[in-house]
Amino acid sequence: MQIDTSPVYSKQFFEIQLALAQKIADLSQQPLGQILLRFTAFYRIFGLDWSYDPANPVWQAYIQGFQQASDQLSFTYQFYLQRYPAIAKFTDEEHWGCFIYDYNPETRVIHLHFSNQDTSIYGPLSHQRIDVRKSELRMMFQQVRQRYPEATLVQGGSWLYNWESYKRLFPPAFGQSAQQDEAFTLTGRNVWGQFLQRNGGVHQERMSLFLERVSQLKKAENYPQCFPYPNVRTETPIQLFFEFYAIV
């Protein structure tokens, strides 16, 4: 999964999500307020938990204001800016450069997350930064081995697995296991991250392509086809990571 945090998102980042939500609401003839919860990442972007509880007071305040607003995009953006200081940032948590992980003790699975925290003049996935990224991952998996020796699998879920420049940071079998995520949920920020630039702005070409596809959408269930990059899931045994990073 890709996590994008510290920069303030641009208004256009909300515009593209609202455009899709409105289109799905029109095609499915469902209330836009309900669609916003299930087909945008607003709930999480506003700093709320993973429950996606429509009765959450913060979410209720947003929906009520949204429904009354004459300019719903501007209202959404201002609501986000007001919430921003209270929203948890990537760097608030224990992290290793651009990486962080979650551990599920029930399934014994490590789940990878990425955020562009590279401060160099090069791109975070460029040839010049491969060794740095691998060093971050090596340190992270050293801790994983010490803290969770019972872990058996590593999973990833992000549009970034469409790029060889990302997959080459991991054991080859991890990238080779990549399969398109059929669920393609929109409530997390990972799939929307493909539109983001490091400064919080959006990639204009991807945005234009996405909005064009949204305008041409005929069936609500075909919304994944609007995205330039599909969401991809990967999974391999954790032992391959220990071997790849020479963790003894």
Overall average pLDDT of the 41-64 stretch: 96
Mind listing the pLDDT tens digit for each residue in 204-230?
999 999 999 999 999 999 999 999 999
Mean pLDDT of the 72-89 span: 94
**Residue listed under structure tokens 């493909």:** 194
Query: Whole-prediction pTM value?
Result: 0.88
pLDDT of residue 5: 46
Q: How far apart are CA 238 and CA 41, in angstroms?
A: 30
pLDDT at 2: 42
Give per-residue pLDDT as tens, 55-79.
Answer: 999 999 999 999 999 999 999 999 9
Instruction: Extract the tokens encoding 101.
Output: 């992980």
**29 Rama class: left (phi>0) / alpha (psi -120 to 50) / beta:** left
pLDDT for the residue 6: 56
Residue 57 identity: P
pLDDT at residue 136, as a whole number:
98
Model confidence band, residue 86 (pLDDT cutoffs 50, 70, 90): confident
Query: What percentage of the chain carries pLDDT values higher than 70?
Result: 98
Distance CA 171, CA 16 (A): 34
- Residues 110-146 have pLDDT tens digits of 999 999 999 899 999 999 999 999 999 999 999 999 9
Alpha-carbon distance of 21 to 77, in angstroms, equals: 15
Q: Which neighbouring-strand residues pair with 203?
A: none
Per residue, the 3-state secondary structure of the chain, as one string, reads CECCCCCCCCHHHHHHHHHHHHHHHHHHCCCHHHHHHHHCCHHHHCCCCCCCCCCCHHHHHHHHHHHHCCCHHHHHHHHHHHHHHHCCCHHHCCCECCEEEEEECCCCEEEEEECCCCCCCCCCCCHHHHHHHHHHHHHHHHHHHHHCCCCCEEEEEEHHHHCHHHHCCCCHHHHHCCEECCCCCCCCCCCHHHHECCCCCECHHHHHHHHHHHHCCCCHHHHHHHCCCCCEEEEEEHHHHHHHCCCC
Phi, psi of 30 (to 5 degrees): -115, 155
* 3 has pLDDT over 60: no
**CB contact at 8 A, 93 and 87:** no
pLDDT band at residue 90 using 50, 70 and 90 as cut-offs: confident
